[in-house]
Chain A
Amino acid sequence: MSPLEFTLTLLGISVGAGFLGSLVGLGGGVVVVPALTLIYGIDIRYAIGASIVSVIATSSGAAAAYVKERLTNLRVAMLLELGTTTGAITGAFIAGIIHSRWLFVIFGLALAYSGVAMVRRSQRRGEAVPSDGWADRLRLHGSYFDEVRGREVAYRVTRTRLGLFLMYLAGLISGLLGIGSGVFKVPAMDLGMRIPIKVSSATSNFMIGVTAAASAGVYFVRGDIDPFIAAPVATGVVIGALAGSRVLPRTDSRLLRLVFVVVLLVISVQMVWKGLR
Chain B
Amino acid sequence: MSAREKKAKTSDEPVGRFELVISEILRLGVTLSLATILVGLALMFAHHPDYLRSSADLVRLTSPGAALPHSLSDVIEGVRAWRGQAVVALGLTMLILTPILRVAVSIVAFAVERDRVFVAVTSAVLAVLLLSFVLGKVG
Contacts and interface: CB of A to CB of B under 8 A. Distances in A.
Interface of B: 15, 19-20, 22-24, 26-27, 29-30, 33-34, 37-38, 40-41, 44-45, 48, 51-55, 57-58, 61-64, 66, 68-71, 85-86, 88-89, 91-93, 95-100, 102-103, 106, 110, 117-118, 121-122, 124-125, 128-129, 131-137, 139
26 contacts: A1-B55, A3-B45, A3-B52, A60-B98, A60-B99, A61-B26, A64-B24, A70-B19, A78-B106, A78-B110, A82-B128, A85-B132, A213-B132, A214-B129, A218-B135, A218-B136, A220-B70, A220-B92, A220-B93, A220-B133, A227-B69, A227-B92, A230-B37, A231-B37, A235-B38, A238-B34
B70 A210 contact: no
Given A96-B139, A209-B99, A210-B125, A230 B92 contact: yes
Contacts of B27: 60-61, 64
Contact of A138 (B117, B132, B134): B117
A133 to B, nearest CB: 14
Given A3-B51, A43-B63, A93-B139, A214 B95 contact: no
B58 A227 contact: no
Interface in A183-215: 209-210, 212-215
B45 A217 contact: no
B70 A225 contact: yes
A7 B41 contact: yes
Contacts of B137: 221-222
B51 A213 contact: no
Nearest to A61: B30
Contacts of B136: 92, 217-222
Nearest to A60: B26
Contacts of B34: 57, 234-235, 238
A11 B38 CA distance: 12
Contacts of B118: 75, 78-79, 138
B37 A235 contact: yes
A59 to B, nearest CB: 8
A214 B37 contact: no
A70 B23 CA distance: 11
Contact of B85 (A86, A215, A228): A228
A67 interface: yes
B62 A227 contact: no
B27 to A, nearest CB: 4
